[in-house]
């Protein structure tokens, strides 16, 4: 109990940054993190069984990675729904970023601002690899387009 609590508290700054990339409001993003943690702790029994199965299949994945993946995945799922329900004015300096669809924002954030490997990003966002890369490329294009930046030929 103490261990899991200190783990949540240590991870909360990173989780908050991700939540803020989905919902650009401090209170809404904080609530997103709290909701994901609440979901995990209330479903803990089911989750422990599920992770045991996954860990048996993938020796590499540690429990901490699975825990993080669970939290990121649920922040994304809840955030995606909530983003449709609430109208938030994004900070002007990131207006181009927040003009992108939620999934594109999540892909960009996870790929550029975290150290998650591609395999884990696939899993967090429940996307197939080609779809993930398509999202990544489209999101970068759209972002550069909105900024009026030159897009390299190879891109």
Partner 1 sequence: MAKFSPTPRCLETRKLLPFLDAQRDPAWRQQYASLAGHITTCPQCQRELKSLEQMLATVENQIPCKALSPHDQENLNHEIAEVTLEAHLKNAPRPSLWRRLLQWAGR
Separation CA 103–CA 80 (nearest Å): 8
> At closest approach, how far in Å is the CB of 87 from partner 1?
18
* Of the residues 63, 94, 134, 145, which one makes contact with partner 1 according to CB under 8 A: 94
117 vs 126, which CB is nearer to partner 1? 117
> At closest approach, how far in Å is the CB of 2 from partner 1?
10
**Contact yes or no for 23/88 (Cβ under 8 A):** yes
**Contact yes or no for 135/127 (Cβ under 8 A):** yes
Among positions 105-124, residues that touch partner 1 (CB under 8 A) are 108-109, 111-113, 115, 117-119
Residue 114, C-beta contacts closer than 8 angstroms, at least 6 positions apart? 14, 18
Separation CA 80–CA 138 (nearest Å): 18
Separation CA 104–CA 140 (nearest Å): 9
Dump strand ranges (E) for 24-137: none
* Of the residues 69, 97, 104, 127, which one makes contact with partner 1 according to CB under 8 A: 97
Separation CA 66–CA 73 (nearest Å): 10
89 vs 155, which CB is nearer to partner 1? 155
Residue 143 touches partner 1, criterion: CB under 8 A:
yes
Return residues touching partner 1 (CB under 8 A): 1, 4-5, 8-9, 12-13, 16-17, 20-21, 24, 26, 29-30, 33-34, 37-38, 41-42, 44-45, 91, 94, 96-97, 108-109, 111-113, 115, 117-119, 133, 136-137, 140, 143-144, 147, 149, 151-155
């Amino acid at each position: 109990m103490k261990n899991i609590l200190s783990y949540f508290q240590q991870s909360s700054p990173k989780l908050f940054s991700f939540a803020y990339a989905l919902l650009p409001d401090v209170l809404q993003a904080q609530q997103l993190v709290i909701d994901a943690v609440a979901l995990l702790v209330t479903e803990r029994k089911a989750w422990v069984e599920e992770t045991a199965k996954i860990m048996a299949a993938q020796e590499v994945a540690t429990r901490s990675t699975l825990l993080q993946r669970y939290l990121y995945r649920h922040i994304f799922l809840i955030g995606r729904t909530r983003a449709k329900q609430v109208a938030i004015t994004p900070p002007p300096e990131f207006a181009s970023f927040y003009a992108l669809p939620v999934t594109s924002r999540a892909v960009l954030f996870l790929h550029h601002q975290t150290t998650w490997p591609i395999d884990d990003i696939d899993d967090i966002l429940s996307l197939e690899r080609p779809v993930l890369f398509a999202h990544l490329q489209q999101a970068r294009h759209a972002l550069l387009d909105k900024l009026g930046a030159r897009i390299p030929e190879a891109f």
